[in-house]
Amino acid sequence: MKMLRAMSAGAAVFFAVGAASAQQGAPTFDAVKARGSVNCGVSTGLAGFSLANSQGQWTGLDVDVCRAIAAAMFGDANKVKFVALSAQQRFTALQSGEVDVLSRNTTWTLSRDTSLGLDFTGVSFYDGQGFMVPKKLNVKSAKELNGATVCVQPGTTTELNLADWFRANRLQFTPVVIERLEEVNAAYFSGRCDVYTTDISGLAAIRASQAPNPADHVILAEVISKEPLGPAVRHGDSKWADLVRWSYYAMLEAEEMGISSKNIDSLASSTNPSVQRFLGTQGEYGKMLGVDAKWAAAIVKQVGNYAEVFERHVTPLGIERGVNKLWKDGGLQYAPPMR
């Protein structure tokens, strides 16, 4: 009995400490709730991921991750302010509080996770770095690029990967380092560089949206790095990190369960316990996150599941799901159980 009492007391202390920590970890959550909108850091313009049209309306996979967060938080996916950030600006903007979340084709690395005061909340797109060259060069392999001039952005994992790969393969190259994405694109398409290197998704997006004739450019087969891209928040904001994390996982879970924006309304009378939990008619999962019980349903109704988002924005670039398929389909995308 003494042992039982001691264990009970220990458990009480544990949960009390946990509750206190949760309260201390809520500054961004509380600020966003009071403001009534999410400040989301995105790319300055990358087709398929974050791109603004002439009316200033943003679209893309990274954009929809932020819209999902707003849908979960407020029941309204439009309560987002998008802040366009260059590769050099993005981390400072998050650290300083200019944005609440960074959803901007950013690679999760050890140094960024530990030294920059960031927490990555998931991988919204598994990618890898590659090379694009003009078709007229008749290059078949990246190992034929000895002596090439290569366009690359500074302050990115791309810059380090590029140097590492050429050194490892005992090849020479001349980097053309340009900060602004628009200027990098212009430099490559004007012939200032022989090669353009960045994430393969970025190369496909740039070729599709910026090339005068996309067929004139080839993305080589080599993938020289792992680039897990996903949203990041400030370290220590546990309550906010939970909401950002589960907003993304809800899109994956919905796809796995066959719940989409097209059929979600017809599932209201479902007796499937998993569906009921997702729709918010069973359990208190919204309360655990500090939001409405129908937070996940709001995401799917207003934004869609992961497959819908991918097909809407990424598939038109000619990029297949590949490793971004669900785990049950042979991919890497996997949501922890929502229970």
Burial 148-179 (b: 16+ CB within 10 A, else e): bbbbbbeebbbbebbeebbeeeeeebebbebe
| Residue 308 confidence (pLDDT) above 90 | yes
Q: Which of 178, 201, 245, 264 is nearest to 60 (CA)?
A: 201
| Neighbouring residues of 259: CB distance < 8 A, sequence distance ≥ 6 | 267, 275, 278, 300, 305
| Residue 24 confidence (pLDDT) above 60 | no
Query: CA 250, CA 121: separation in Å to the nearest integer?
Result: 13
| Residue 259 confidence (pLDDT) above 70 | yes
Q: pLDDT tens-digit profile of 173-202?
A: 999 999 888 999 999 999 999 999 999 999
CB 87 within 8 A of CB 179: yes
Decide: helix, strand or coil at residue 81: strand
Average of per-residue pLDDT values in the chain: 92
Q: Which residue has the tokens 């407020």?
A: 74
pLDDT at position 155: 81
Q: Which of 231, 228, 227, 202 is nearest to 103 (CA)?
A: 231
CB 228 within 8 A of CB 324: no
| Residue 127 confidence (pLDDT) above 80 | yes
CB 132 within 8 A of CB 187: no
Fold for 26-126+229-327, please state it. D-Maltodextrin-Binding Protein; domain 2 (3.40.190)
**Mean pLDDT, to the nearest integer, of 113-141?**
96
DSSP 276-300: HHHHTSSS-HHHHHTS-TTHHHHHH
- The superfamily (CATH) of domain 129-225 is Periplasmic binding protein-like II (3.40.190.10)
pLDDT tier at 104 (50, 70, 90 boundaries)?
Answer: very high
CB 94 within 8 A of CB 234: yes
Q: Which of 136, 37, 50, 127 is nearest to 87 (CA)?
A: 50
The ranges of the chain annotated as CATH 3.40.190.10 are 26-126+229-327, 129-225
Q: pLDDT tens-digit profile of 139-152?
A: 999 999 999 999 99
| Neighbouring residues of 139: CB distance < 8 A, sequence distance ≥ 6 | 133, 145, 218, 220
On the 0-12 / 13-18 / 19+ scale of CB atoms within 10 A, 33 is middle
Partner residues linked to 59 by β-bridges: 51
Query: CA 62, CA 50: separation in Å to the nearest integer?
Result: 6
pTM: 0.87
